[in-house]
A and B are shown apart, each in its own frame.
Chain A
Amino acid sequence: MVPTSYYVLLSAILFTIGVLGVLLRRNAIVIFMAVELMLNAANLALVAFARERLGVEAQVIVFFVITVAAAEVAVGLALLVAIFRTKRTADVDEVSTLKG
């Protein structure tokens, strides 16, 4: 059996890629994908820990996380379409009229 620490390491790497993606990429859709990567890295860690402890509780959590992620992405896409209609761009840097 593959040790749990391998999975956790992999999930940590994926999470880091996701964080860097959010911080470095400028296209809103790519940012959503990076956020999704962060959440799924967490899911991977949860499932790995659940297997180690032979419990289902953490697997149930994964369902909730998936659901919340879907809701978030749905709202995000709707916003993106709205912004695209007004501004014709998906680049987050071009959308910055709020300054102080």
Chain B
Amino acid sequence: MDALTIPPVDLGLIAPLLVVVTWATGLLLVDTFFIPVGRKKLTGYLAIAGLVVAGLVGLPLWGVSGSTFGGMVRLDPFALTLTWVFLLIGILSITMSLDYLPRQDIEQGEYYPLIMFAVSGMILLAQGADLIVLFLGIETLSITLYILTGFAYPRLTSEEAAMKYLVLGAFAAGFFVYGIALIFGATGSTRLSEIGAYAADRDLGDTNLTLLLGGAAMVLIAFSFKAALAPFHMWIPDVYQGSPTPVAAFMSVGTKGGALAALVRLLFEALPTLNAYWLPVLAGLTALTMVVGNLGAIAQMDVKRMLAYSSIGHAGYVMLGVMVAGEQRGPEAFIFYILVYALSNLGAFAVLIALEHQGEEAWQLDDFAGLYQRQPLLAVAMAIFMFSLAGVPPTAGFMAKFYALTAAWEGGLPWLALVGVLTSAIAAFFYLRVIIRMFMTEPEGEPAPELNRGLTIDIVVAAAGTIIIGLIPAPIFALVERSAVALGG
């Protein structure tokens, strides 16, 4: 028999991913063998170091475009910028966990490698150019998140949240795989570009068109589950409430960023010719997501659940950029929004962690009463995050929302932009409610919040980032613009 040729592999194109995965695998062993119980913070520091190294390794790749592994994995500025954003998310999440875990008596070394594996899944989603790679990426992200959600074992709420997440996640995975099968049946390929070429080249015929549409619909359902678009969002509030707070923070920005980055590629490389079919459906889902998320948040007296609903609403704003990613502004708005949302939301969750004491959950709105008098700086930081999430100038949240809304407006979805504006107005209500509690009411004898180094760094970085990007957005705009070039086409 002839020798089989293995397609040439350029490991340089996946260097950041490779660093994250090997580092995490090594760290798992190092943690087990060398790091004694009670000093697991060291594992956390090593994990942060690994993520930083991965980011640095990515620097020389700027401007490089190419694909490897037989076209299954792609590197372009879009993927690279998202990789950096994901690494930042990972670093911030680990920093806020360093003291949280021992305080909650759930410190175990595996936590940090697991976060790294989740980040690697997100990077894979940004780089994947094949349905299989996307499937593996989304499952790497999800399976690690199931474990992280249940990390507060044996606390029942955490276990229950993990179980719910797992059942729904596995359900979505089933849809994903069946969708892949149908798409493969229609086009004979799982490579995004080949699917796109096949659909564009010839008349598909009724059978194949039905198969392709059915497959695309199932894959979109799976993505909607993972990114929490209404009406597939029901699991979000329960899962966020039950999971350890840093994990909820990581999840809220991580799954959205990863899943929607993959969705951008899927829609505009594999299915651009079916635009007429998916655009109305996704636009409807997006509008529903914005409405449901923001209206749902109003009813919440629990700030953690409120942030969960708000994250659903923000998924809708991110989708504005995703849907018009065919235009130059779309992917720009997408990356920008993910970055800003990551900073503001991780910051807000970090404040929640500061208020959380061992064994008691201080997430009620009343727990924020008079925070300004108890801990002025913390209250100011929280106010910045709330303003940013609400989209009030001069914070970064305003710029991001403005960017996303104009992208949708120019991209031919003016009515959706209008829904976005209206829902942001509603959203301002419940974000401002937190601020009013903090500044306008008297404290009710709550114990002082526990700030520590990791949390302080996190909150300062996030708040500074939110303000600076809000005031001087030009450098980030430039970065984002150059990242979107490759994709815009």
Q: Are A and B in direct contact (Cβ within 8 Å)? A: yes
User: Which of B159, B161, B174 is A42 in contact with, Cβ under 8 Å?
Assistant: B174
Q: Report yes or no: A98 in contact with B185, Cβ–Cβ below 8 A.
A: no
A75, B166: Cα distance in complex, Å: 8
Chain A residue at minimal CB-CB distance from B301: A100
Q: A49: which B residues are within 8 A, CB to CB?
A: 181, 184-185, 188
A72 to chain B, nearest CB (A): 5
B141-164 interface (Cβ within 8 A of A): 143, 146-147, 150, 153-154, 156-157, 159-164
A residues in contact with B161, CB < 8 Å: 98
Picked from B169, B188, B241, the residue with its CB within 8 Å of the CB of A98 is B241
On whether the beta carbons of B181 and A45 are closer than 8 Å, the reply is: yes
Q: Please, how many residues of chain B have a CB less than 8 angstroms from a CB on the other chain?
A: 44
Q: How far is the CA of A43 from the CA of B174 in the complex (A)?
A: 10
Give every chain B residue within 8 A of A64 (Cβ-Cβ).
132, 135-136
Q: Complex: how many Å from CA A79 to CA B156?
A: 11
Q: Which residues of A contact B190 (CB under 8 A)?
A: 57-58, 61
**A95 interface hit (Cβ, 8 Å):** yes
Please state if B143 and A46 are interface contacts (CB–CB under 8 Å): no
Of the candidates B157, B178, B305, the one having the most CB atoms from chain A within 10 angstroms of its own CB is B178
**Interface residues in B342-367 (C-beta closer than 8 Å to A):** none
The yes or no answer to B180 lying at the interface (CB within 8 A) is yes
Tell me the dominant secondary structure on chain A's binding face: helix
B-contact bits for A42-76, CB 8 A (1 contact / 0 none): 11011011001101011001001100100110011
CB < 8 Å neighbour of A97 from B139, B160, B184, B185: B160
Residues of B within 8 A of A71 (CB): 139, 143
B237 at the binding interface (Cβ < 8 Å): yes
Q: Given A45-B182, A61-B190, A87-B156, are A68 and B136 neighbors across the interface (CB < 8 Å)?
A: yes
Chain B 280-304, CB within 8 Å of chain A: the 1/0 string?
0000000000000000000110100
Are the C-beta atoms of B167 and A28 separated by less than 8 Å?
yes
Q: How far is the CA of A32 from the CA of B167 in the complex (A)?
A: 8
- Cβ–Cβ < 8 Å partners of A97 in chain B: 156-157, 160
Q: Measured between alpha carbons, how far is A53 from B190 in the docked complex, in Å?
A: 13
- Complex contact A38–B171 (CB within 8 A): yes
Kindly list chain B residues whose C-beta atoms are within 8 Å of the C-beta of A41: 178
Q: A61 to B132, Cβ gap below 8 A?
A: yes
**Given known contacts A82-B159, A98-B238, A92 and B153 CB-to-CB distance under 8 angstroms:** no
Asked if A98 and B157 sit within 8 Å, CB to CB, the answer is yes
Interface presence of B413 (CB below 8 A): no
B156, B161, B166, B174: which has the most chain A beta carbons within 10 Å? Answer: B174
Q: Across the interface, do B160 and A95 meet the contact criterion of CB distance under 8 Å?
A: yes
Find out whether the CB atom of A42 lies under 8 angstroms from the CB atom of B177: yes
Complex contact B188–A39 (CB within 8 A)? no
Q: Does A83 contact B (CB under 8 A)?
A: yes
Which range holds the interface residue count of chain A? 35 or more
Shortest A6–chain B CB gap in Å is 13
Q: Are the CB atoms of A82 and B154 closer together than 8 Å? A: yes
Interface pair B135/A85, CB less than 8 Å apart: no
Do B174 and A38 touch (CB < 8 A)? yes
A32 surroundings in chain B (CB, below 8 A):
170
For the complex, give the distance between the alpha carbons of A54 and B289 in Å: 42
Q: Which residue of A11, A43, A100 has the most chain B CB atoms within 10 A of its CB atom?
A: A100
| B257 at interface, CB cutoff 8 A | no
Cβ contacts under 8 Å, B189 to chain A: 57
- Within A6-33, the residues touching B (CB, 8 Å) are 8, 11, 15, 18-19, 22, 28, 31-32
When chains A and B are docked, how far (Å) is the Cα of A63 from the Cα of B188?
18
Q: How far is the CB of B434 from chain A (nearest CB, A)?
A: 17
A96 to B159 alpha-carbon distance, docked (Å): 11
Cβ of B331 < 8 Å from any Cβ of A? no
Check A80 against B163 for contact (C-beta < 8 Å): yes
Chain A hits for B305, CB < 8 A: 100
Q: A39's contact among B132, B174, B242, by CB below 8 Å, is which?
A: B174
Q: In the complex, what residues of B have CB within 8 A of residue A100's CB?
A: 237-238, 241, 299-300, 302, 305
Say whether B167 contacts A61, CB under 8 Å. Answer: no
- Residue among B163, B182, B185, B241 making CB contact with A28, cutoff 8 Å: B163
Interface string of B21-60 (1 = CB under 8 A from A): 0000000000000000000000000000000000000000
On whether A98 and B242 interact (CB within 8 A), knowing A53-B188, A64-B136, A87-B156, the answer reads yes
Which residue of B143, B163, B188 is within 8 Å of A92 (Cβ)?
A: B163
Closest B residue to A61 using CB positions: B132
Give the distance in Å from the alpha carbon of A45 to the alpha carbon of B184 in the complex. 9
| Any A CB within 8 A of the CB of B173 | yes
Instruction: Give 29 CB contacts A-B under 8 Å.
Output: A4-B185, A22-B174, A28-B163, A31-B167, A32-B170, A35-B174, A38-B171, A42-B178, A46-B180, A46-B181, A48-B185, A49-B181, A49-B184, A49-B185, A55-B188, A58-B181, A65-B177, A68-B139, A75-B146, A75-B166, A76-B163, A82-B153, A83-B159, A83-B163, A92-B163, A95-B160, A96-B160, A97-B160, A98-B161
- Give residues in A with beta carbon < 8 Å to B: 4, 8, 11, 15, 18-19, 22, 28, 31-32, 35, 38-39, 41-43, 45-46, 48-49, 52-53, 55, 57-58, 61, 64-65, 68, 71-72, 75-76, 79-80, 82-83, 85-87, 92, 95-100
For the complex of A and B, the 6 pairs showing the least CB-CB separation, nearest first, are: A38-B174, A45-B181, A42-B177, A42-B178, A49-B185, A98-B238
Additional pairs, 13, CB under 8 Å, beyond known A72-B146, A79-B162: A38-B174, A42-B174, A42-B177, A42-B181, A57-B190, A61-B132, A61-B184, A61-B190, A64-B135, A72-B169, A76-B170, A83-B159, A92-B167
